[in-house]
């Protein structure tokens, strides 16, 4: 049976919310039990970010969760979970340090690359490799572009 794949948002530092991919691997678990896995990067654009997956209860029950932001984006076969991590999450580089302590961009010619952009890139790779089946099979990825 395929697992549902969601994006979720939680309170972030500053004006932006944090974004992550949540794969619900145990939908019938009790509310305080592990229901799935969270795939995301943590850190800052000052120091850089690191890939930081973890098991979690239902993210909607976490205090930092922003209500109404859990959106189903795809499904994934149970057998593809390891592929998702190795071929998508570990191959898309996490955001590196991009600003100085004074807030000046280290790479002035490029846009800032944060957790949202990392999530969009991971999702795009997962769809391209056939690991994710887009929800409703629309071919759309998280950033709104279409792969079809």
For residues 105 and 99, the answer to whether their CB atoms sit within 8 Å is yes
- 53-112 per-position pLDDT tens digit: 999 999 999 999 999 999 999 999 999 999 999 999 999 999 999 999 999 999 999 999
Average pLDDT over the chain reads 91
Nearest CA to 40 out of 3, 65, 15 is that of: 65
In terms of DSSP H, where are the helices of the chain?
A: 81-84, 115-128
Q: Is the pLDDT of residue 13 over 80?
A: no
**What is the reported pLDDT for 133?**
96
Q: Give the Cα separation of 84 and 37 in Å (integer).
A: 12
pLDDT band at 140 (very low <50, low <70, confident <90, very high): very low
Q: Are 27 and 16 in contact, with CB atoms under 8 Å apart?
A: no
pLDDT of 28 reads 87
Structural domain spans, the chain: 3-134
Reduce the DSSP state of residue 88 to 3 states and report it.
helix
* CA 119 centroid distance within chain: 4
Q: Determine the Cα angle at 4 with ends 79 and 129, to 5°.
A: 50
């Amino acid at each position: 049976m395929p697992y549902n794949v969601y994006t979720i948002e939680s309170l972030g530092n500053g004006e932006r919310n944090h974004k992550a991919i949540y794969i619900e691997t145990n939908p019938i678990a009790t509310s305080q039990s592990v229901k799935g896995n969270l795939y995301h990067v943590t850190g800052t654009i000052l120091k850089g970010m690191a890939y930081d997956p973890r098991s979690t209860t239902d993210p909607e029950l976490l205090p930092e969760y922003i209500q109404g932001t859990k959106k189903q984006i795809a499904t994934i076969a149970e057998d593809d979970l390891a592929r998702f991590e190795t071929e998508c999450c570990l191959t898309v580089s996490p955001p590196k340090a991009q600003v100085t302590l004074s807030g000046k961009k280290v790479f002035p010619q490029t846009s800032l690359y944060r957790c949202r952009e990392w999530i969009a890139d991971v999702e795009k790779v997962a769809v391209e490799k056939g690991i994710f089946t887009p929800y409703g099979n629309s071919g759309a990825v998280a950033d709104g572009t279409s792969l079809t």
